Amino acid sequence: MEKNIFRRLYPTTKLMMTFTLIMSAFVIPGYIYSYLIFLICGIIVYFCGKLKEYTKQVFKSLILLFIIIFIIQGILISKGEIWFKLGFISVYKEGIMKGVNLTSKITAFVSAFTMFFQITPIRDFVISLEKAGMNSKAAYVVLLTLQIIPEMMKRTNVIMDSQKARGVETESNIFVRAKAFIPIFFPLILSSIENTEERAITLEARGFSSGVKKTRLYDIEKVSYDLLFRILLVVFIVLCIIWRKLWNI
Amino acid sequence: MKSIKEDFSLMSILLIPVAVAINMAGFGLVKLLNLPIFLDTVGTVFISFLAGPWIGAIAAILTSVVSGIFDPVYLAYIPTSVGLALTAGFLTRFKFGNNIIKIAISSLVLTIIAVVISAPITVIVFGGVTGNMTSSITALFLASGQQIWSAVISSSIITEFADKLVTVIICILILGSMSSRYLIKFKYGEKYINKSKN
């Protein structure tokens, strides 16, 4: 059994934690707290032992975006006072402040969601949704999607290699590469569409549409402190709102 | 309401994961081959053409959520892909075939929908950029003295139209090469059956 307290939480509690963090980032004014969410999520992920993947993913999705946001907001949109000049480039203070505000909120959103997906196995999440009343067909579709995507990526590489062996160029100028797209993409799609028919027959043979309550081999359960954790989260977000209303910032 | 429920047949439901995978594979393949378009909605448009708008919308939402696992930035664009799926589904009511004018019109309509829904998201949520190829064109327009709204809208019209045109053509080609035995199992399948082939 897993010892870690965060990991053992029920998936919907983790989802609630994610949304509470995001909401608090929008309720609490200023950008410092929103950037701090990155650290808060980092600490939680650290206890689950996934810190490396988390940091890598957050940086991968944000770094290019932030560079471009600051360039566009600070340099290309010219309004307000000039903060300082770098050679012939003038940097605008208002634009930089707007960039900071934007990026802080995006950081909060992205790190909270990355944390959620790092500490929650998708299979557990889907099971918890199904227990909360989600249609079992819908739950199956989500699980199947997650299974099919890696399979499809593998098949892309196989088809690409076999078409290369038949003489299709994949590394040259743009027209040659565009021409290579069709002999790779079409076999991939047509073969995967054909598979759905077989899958439908297989599922029907196992009584997929029978509408009877299903039994489960793999199951998850709530832990004792789940309820406590949820109450704490609600109290936290209410406190944030009260704090903002009282000080009226 | 009843007709919506009828859309969700087992075959259509099982096509949803395939459509999501096609979206991901198209996007990945384009990146692999370094082509200047996205092709991240081929699956969505394809399934909307074949199985109707509601199935398409589910596939669109699922695609955004799954790509959100790797990069949560995509979660902001759920409305765009849902809008595209619904539009493509409703476009199907006018028979496509291999008519070039109809392909051009439908990709134009899809472009307009994509730009109208995604431009406000890009400007309000991300301040005008999302870190892909469109951003460099946006930056070019901004540097030439345009306002942020017109820069975002005009740059996304250029890239989206090329993208949607290729997407629609690919979808029509795929539908044309599927067997009629298979096509007939879907809601709008019979519209694509090539009668001269049999």
At A222, the pLDDT band (50, 70, 90 cuts) reads confident
Closest alpha carbon to B58 in B18, B116, B3, B114: B18
- Has residue A218 got a pLDDT over 60? yes
Residue B128 buriedness (CB in 10 A; 0-12 / 13-18 / 19+): buried
Separation of alpha carbons B143 and B100, rounded Å: 37
Q: Return the residue in A189, A190, A195, A197 with the most chain B beta carbons within 10 A, the one to mutate for interface testing.
A: A189
Name the percent of chain A lying above pLDDT 70: 96
Q: Return the residue in A163, A181, A198, A203 with the most chain B beta carbons within 10 A, the one to mutate for interface testing.
A: A181
Chain B, 31-50: which have a CB under 8 Å from a chain A CB? 32-36, 46
Q: What is the pLDDT of residue A1?
A: 44
| CA angle A205–A199–A183, rounded 5-degree value | 160
Chain A hits for B32, Cβ within 8 Å? 160
Strands (E), A58-200: 82-86, 89-92
- Has residue A235 got a pLDDT over 90? yes
Separation of alpha carbons A82 and A90, rounded Å: 6
Closest alpha carbon to A152 in B20, B56, B167, B74: B20
Please spell the DSSP secondary structure of chain B, one letter per residue: -HHHHHH--HHHHHHHHHHHHHHHHHHHHHHHTT-SS---SHHHHHHHHHH-HHHHHHHHHHHHHHHHHH-GGGGGGHHHHHHHHHHHHHHTTS--TT-HHHHHHHHHHHHHHHHHHHHHHHHHHHTT--SSHHHHHHHHHHHTT--HHHHHHHHHHHHHHHHHHHHHHHHHHHHHHS-HHHHTTSTTGGGG--TTT-
Task: Please give the ipTM for the structure prediction.
Answer: 0.82
What digits encode the pLDDT tens for the residues B32-68? 887 778 888 899 999 999 888 999 999 999 999 888 8
Q: What is the pLDDT of residue B113?
A: 92
Which among A110, A196, A197 has CB closest to B72? A110
Give the number of other Cβ atoms within 10 Å of residue B146's Cβ. Answer: 17
- Gap from B23 CA to chain A (nearest CA, Å): 10
Q: Is the Cβ pair B33, A177 closer than 8 Å? A: yes
Separation of alpha carbons A247 and B4, rounded Å: 49
Q: Is the Cβ pair B10, A200 closer than 8 Å? A: yes
Chain B, 53-72: which have a CB under 8 Å from a chain A CB? 58, 62, 66, 68-72
A-B Cβ pairs (cutoff 8 Å, strict): 150
Which residue in B has a C-alpha nearest to residue A157's C-alpha? B29
Separation of alpha carbons A122 and B20, rounded Å: 16
More confident residue, A145 or A3: A145
Average pLDDT over residues A52-56: 90
Separation of alpha carbons A106 and B25, rounded Å: 27
Helix, coil or strand: residue A85 = strand
Which among A146, A189, A197 has CB closest to B22? A189
Give the number of other Cβ atoms within 10 Å of residue B73's Cβ. Answer: 20
Count how many Cα atoms sit within 13 Å of the Cα of residue A23 in the half-sphere of its side chain. Answer: 16
Residue A84: phi and psi, rounded to 5, are -155, 170
Which residue in B has a C-alpha nearest to residue A54's C-alpha? B70
Average pLDDT over residues A49-71: 86
Are B162 and B37 in contact by the 8 Å Cβ rule? The answer is yes
Helix, coil or strand: residue A134 = coil
Q: Is the Cβ pair B25, A174 closer than 8 Å? A: no
Closest alpha carbon to B91 in B83, B43, B118: B83
- Gap from A28 CA to chain B (nearest CA, Å): 18
Q: What is the pLDDT of residue B31?
A: 81
Q: What is the pLDDT of residue B63?
A: 92
Q: Which amino acid, residue B165?
A: L
Are B134 and A65 in contact by the 8 Å Cβ rule? The answer is no
Separation of alpha carbons B148 and B128, rounded Å: 7
Q: Return the residue in B29, B46, B167 with the most chain A beta carbons within 10 A, the one to mutate for interface testing.
A: B29
Give the number of other Cβ atoms within 10 Å of residue A226's Cβ. Answer: 17
What digits encode the pLDDT tens for the residues A15-38? 999 999 999 988 888 888 889 999
Closest alpha carbon to A249 in A25, A29, A35: A29
Q: Return the residue in B4, B20, B152, B179 with the most chain A beta carbons within 10 A, the one to mutate for interface testing.
A: B20
Q: What is the pLDDT of residue A20?
A: 92
- Gap from A113 CA to chain B (nearest CA, Å): 6
Are B42 and B167 in contact by the 8 Å Cβ rule? The answer is yes
Are A127 and A37 in contact by the 8 Å Cβ rule? The answer is no
Count how many Cα atoms sit within 13 Å of the Cα of residue B121 in the half-sphere of its side chain. Answer: 17
What digits encode the pLDDT tens for the residues A168-202? 888 878 888 888 888 888 999 888 888 888 888 99
Q: What is the pLDDT of residue A236?
A: 92
| Residue B124 at interface with chain A, using a CB cutoff of 8 Å | no
- Gap from A86 CA to chain B (nearest CA, Å): 17
Which among B16, B26, B148 has CB closest to A77? B148
- Average pLDDT of chain A is 85
Residue A151, CA distances (Å) to A10, B31, B57 in order: 29, 18, 23
Residue A158 buriedness (CB in 10 A; 0-12 / 13-18 / 19+): exposed
- Which residues of chain B, if any, have pLDDT below 50? none
